[in-house]
């Protein structure tokens, strides 16, 4: 049964003093329970012999394959630890291309053939499983007779125990592949891209510091989200089905006053946040900051950055925790990129950098001019990589839901540009103008760099309109959508920067083979990159129309819709990049592309059907009922013998209601037809394009009619929760 609007509002008004009963926020210091549900190094040491622990740890750190014997020791330790903590089940936890996570629980409990009951979990169950995920998207990688997918343990991310109610399940992070080893998930390409980048970056690091032998990609994500009351959520079929509102007239007050952004966190939300943070901390997710965001009811949560694979796992886990914890608070989390028209959407900024075994952040400029050549090398190569592969990076953040954000005037545009701030722009300009030609210019530029006031603290010139910004010691990728798995853009970043560093190394060898001294050779190449990549550098307002024109003049792409943007994944450049770096085979790349197209189609199909049902089943009956009342009133006035001027307003309303009713009916019929034509096509990219260019515009037209009716119809008869209620009733 669905709630009516007024029932839902009543429920909320009666929630005064509501206390979620399951919240247990410990009094203890965070450090006393942080990571208590994680099978981390400390736990391994506790549950394994010293020798076994050392062997396993060395293998994990070097990325070498664990022997069956060692893996078995891990399995045994993991099982004992999990059971000591009360876990009864285990699951291989993986990240299929649907965007969220998947799990299939099995009990430790087992019966032997002779009837003995025991708890079992061994190396086979740890290392590989066949969860029969045949209904997860595979983009044609699995023909029906071999539809199974297999999960395989990823020892680089620690196992953890998920507590749901009283149940406890040991979760083992895994990759998800076909029988032939082709990736069906986000994790495998990410791991491969990280290995590729490391291999390409080490020789470059060693130009500056021989001691660097290991490189880690770091990711710090920032998760934005909206919260709404569960009663309101359940009373909106669109939120329930699609996570966003497909109809709804803008509220007179939205975010104009910025009062939410600067306001204090409402108490109920604060309780939710504290509860969520506790859950995160138990699972070793280092969340640290929380605050209100721009939209009414919008918030943000961010952790300390971590090694990229863990950071991705933690973000995926967080999204699940957010849903679960919200339920106990009678709240619902909207992770959608654009839950409400006319109000800011949600993103997931990805802060990306590289750090070394010597403890250096490669994107942190130093005080010492010598070190700055290292910084400059990685900095300029990253910009050059983004310049060359902007389209592939754009493709990695393309989705039906993110299309509402990118290029929609309040979030980064769909045009990729790089913002680096005044001081660094000046340094690059100086190098371009003088350095390389003579050694003096080089030294001057490096010297200048070392005199830049602490960039990390220099927040003043941050440009919020840039999709890709340097923020002192890392690049911040702001195009990523709030629902997305960060692994997709991270895989692209690692691959393109890895490829660029390979090119750099090759060019450096060439340059030096002609007798040029090393530093001069480096600068000569960087200088050329600075000139080449100049079109992608932009410090101005990314939301402005002038920028769209300017970007077109500079030859930068602007692909605001997903079906177009995704094509870059299968362009010849992308195929070359991913296959030669070993991140994707061509077959995998096409399969991933196809899954992304299918995801797009399915999302729009569900939205369009939901919207059709809502207008036919909810809006039209309300409009017709109110129109009948008006008509009855007109007839009564006529009967009283009053002249037409007395019911002029009513007549006008009746006509306007009819116009909008007819408009809806007409467009819904057209939309159904268009869906049918699109679905009859064979090729996923063509169907996606039809949904984008034919179905989506009709949804917008239908919305316009419905939103006009919301304005015309008696408030008491309006069935859907209104925007003002969704955003302001708490
Ligand atoms: P904001 O962008 O909100 O002003 P910060 O600049 O402090 O906040 O950091 C934003 C995010 O960037 C945090 O998640 C932080 O952990 C992350 N971050 C900081 N340094 C790095 C780094 N070297 N690599 C990756 N992420 C980082
Ligand atoms: Mg930020």
Amino acid 442: pLDDT: 66
Residue 349 Cα to ligand 2 midpoint, Å, equals 6
Three-state DSSP class for 440? helix
* Pairwise CA distance, residues 455 & 408, whole Å: 30
pLDDT at 667 over 80: yes
Amino acid 143: pLDDT: 58
> Hey, what CATH topology would domain 599-728 get?
1.20.120
Amino acid 688: pLDDT: 97
CB atoms within 10 A of CB 561: 19
pLDDT at 696 over 90: yes
Q: Does 351 sit in the ligand 1 pocket, CB within 6 Å? A: yes
pLDDT at 144 over 60: no
* Backbone torsion region of residue 570, taken as left when φ is above 0, otherwise alpha when ψ lies between -120 and 50, otherwise beta: alpha
Residue-averaged pLDDT of the chain: 90
Amino acid 514: pLDDT: 93
User: Can you spell out the DSSP letters for 222-265?
Assistant: EEEEEEEEHHHHHT-HHHHHHSS-SS-PPPSSSSTT-HHHHSPP
**Residues of CATH 3.30.590.10 domain(s) within the chain?**
194-584
Q: Does 220 sit in the ligand 1 pocket, CB within 6 Å? A: yes
Write the CB contacts of 547 (distance below 8 Å, at least 6 apart in sequence). Answer: 413, 415, 417, 538, 540, 541
Q: Does 473 sit in the ligand 1 pocket, CB within 6 Å? A: yes
Q: Does 291 sit in the ligand 1 pocket, CB within 6 Å? A: no
Residue 476 Cα to ligand 2 midpoint, Å, equals 7
Quick one: average pLDDT of 126-145? 67
In sequence order, the β-bridge partners of residue 287 are 303
pLDDT at 83 over 90: yes
Amino acid 601: pLDDT: 97
* Pairwise CA distance, residues 148 & 125, whole Å: 17
CA 310 vs CA 282, 537, 600: distances in Å = 15, 31, 27
User: Per residue in 19-60, pLDDT tens?
Assistant: 776 566 667 789 899 999 999 999 999 999 999 999 888 888
**Residues of CATH 3.10.20.70 domain(s) within the chain?**
34-185
User: Per residue in 328-345, pLDDT tens?
Assistant: 999 999 999 999 998 889
DSSP annotation of 536 reads G
User: Can you spell out the DSSP letters for 488-513?
Assistant: HHHHHHHHHHHHHHHHHHHHHHHHHH
- Class of 34-185 in CATH: alpha beta
Amino acid 132: pLDDT: 62
User: Per residue in 356-409, pLDDT tens?
Assistant: 999 999 999 877 766 789 999 999 999 999 999 999 999 999 999 999 998 776
Best mutation site among 474, 480, 486, 497 for ligand 1 pocket (most ligand atoms within 8 Å of CB): 474
pLDDT at 263 over 90: no
Q: Does 353 sit in the ligand 1 pocket, CB within 6 Å? A: yes
How confident is residue 103, by pLDDT bands cut at 50, 70 and 90? confident
Please answer whether residues 37 and 76 qualify as being in contact, where contact means their C-beta atoms are separated by less than 8 angstroms.
Answer: no
Tell me: domain 194-584, CATH 3.40.47.10, correct?
A: no
């Amino acid at each position: 049964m669905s709630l009516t609007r007024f029932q839902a509002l009543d429920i909320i008004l009666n929630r005064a003093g509501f206390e979620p009963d399951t919240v247990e926020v410990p009094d203890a210091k965070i450090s006393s329970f942080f990571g208590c549900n994680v099978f981390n190094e400390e736990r391994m040491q506790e549950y394994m012999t010293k020798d076994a622990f050392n062997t396993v740890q060395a293998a994990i750190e070097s990325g070498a394959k664990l022997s069956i014997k060692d893996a078995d020791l891990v399995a045994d330790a993991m099982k004992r630890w999990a059971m000591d903590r009360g876990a009864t089940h285990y699951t291989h936890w993986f990240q299929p291309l649907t965007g969220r996570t998947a799990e299939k629980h099995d009990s430790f409990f087992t019966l032997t053939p002779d009837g003995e009951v025991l708890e079992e979990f061994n190396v086979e169950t740890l290392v590989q499983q066949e969860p029969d995920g045949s209904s997860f998207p595979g983009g044609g990688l699995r023909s029906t007779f071999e539809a199974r997918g297999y999960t395989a343990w990823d020892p680089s991310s620690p196992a953890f125990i998920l507590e749901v109610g009283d149940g406890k399940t040991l979760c083992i992070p895994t990759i998800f592949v076909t029988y032939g080893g082709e990736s069906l998930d986000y994790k495998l390409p990410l791991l491969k891209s990280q290995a590729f980048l490391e291999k390409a970056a080490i020789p470059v690091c060693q130009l500056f510091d021989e001691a660097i032998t290991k490189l880690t990609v770091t990711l710090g994500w920032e998760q934005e989200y909206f919260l709404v009351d569960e009663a309101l959520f359940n009373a909106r079929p669109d939120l329930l089905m699609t996570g966003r509102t497909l109809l709804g007239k803008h509220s007179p007050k939205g975010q104009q006053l910025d009062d939410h952004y600067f306001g204090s966190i409402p108490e109920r939300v604060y309780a939710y946040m504290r509860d969520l943070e506790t859950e995160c901390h138990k699972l070793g997710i280092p969340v640290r900051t929380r605050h209100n965001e721009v939209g009414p009811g919008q918030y943000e949560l961010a952790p300390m950055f971590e090694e990229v694979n863990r950071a991705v796992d933690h973000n995926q886990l967080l999204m699940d925790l957010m849903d679960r914890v919200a339920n106990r608070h009678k709240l619902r989390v909207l992770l959608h990129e654009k839950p409400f028209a006319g109000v800011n959407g949600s993103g997931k900024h990805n802060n990306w950098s590289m750090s070394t075994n010597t403890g250096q952040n490669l994107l942190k400029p130093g005080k010492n001019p010598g070190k700055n050549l290292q910084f400059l090398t990685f900095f300029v190569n990253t910009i050059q990589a983004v310049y060359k592969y902007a389209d592939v990076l754009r493709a990695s953040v393309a989705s039906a839901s993110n299309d509402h954000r990118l290029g929609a005037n309040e979030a980064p545009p769909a045009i990729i540009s790089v913002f680096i701030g005044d001081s660094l722009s000046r340094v690059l300009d100086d190098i371009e103008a003088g350095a390389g030609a003579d050694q003096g210019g080089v030294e001057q530029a490096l010297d200048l760099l070392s005199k830049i006031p602490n960039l990390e603290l220099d927040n003043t010139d941050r440009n919020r309109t840039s999709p890709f910004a340097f923020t002192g010691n890392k690049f911040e990728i702001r195009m990523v959508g709030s629902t997305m798995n960060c692994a997709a853009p991270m895989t692209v970043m690692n691959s393109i920067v890895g490829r660029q560093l390979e090119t750099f190394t090759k060019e450096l060898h060439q340059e030096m083979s002609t007798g040029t001294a090393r530093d001069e050779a480096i600068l000569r190449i960087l200088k050329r990159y600075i000139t080449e990549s100049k079109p992608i550098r932009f410090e101005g307002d990314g939301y402005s129309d002038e920028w769209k024109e300017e970007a077109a003049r500079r030859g930068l792409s602007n692909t605001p819709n997903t079906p177009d943007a995704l094509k870059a994944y299968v362009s010849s450049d992308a195929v070359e990049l991913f296959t030669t770096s070993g991140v994707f085979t061509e077959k995998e790349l096409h399969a991933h592309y196809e899954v992304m197209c299918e995801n797009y189609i399915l999302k729009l199909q569900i939205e369009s059907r939901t919207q059709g049902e809502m207008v036919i089943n909810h809006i039209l009956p309300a409009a017709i009922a109110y129109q009948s009342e008006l008509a009855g009133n007109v007839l009564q006035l006529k009967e009283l013998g009053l002249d037409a001027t007395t019911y002029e307003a009513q007549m006008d309303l009746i006509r306007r209601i009819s116009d909008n009713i007819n408009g809806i009916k007409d467009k819904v019929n057209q939309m159904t037809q268009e869906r049918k034509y699109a679905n009859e096509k064979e090729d996923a990219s063509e169907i996606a394009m039809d949904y984008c260019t034919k179905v989506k515009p009709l949804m917008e037209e239908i919305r316009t009619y419905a939103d006009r009716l919301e304005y015309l119809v008696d408030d008491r008869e309006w069935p859907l929760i209104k925007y003002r209620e969704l955003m302001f009733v708490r």
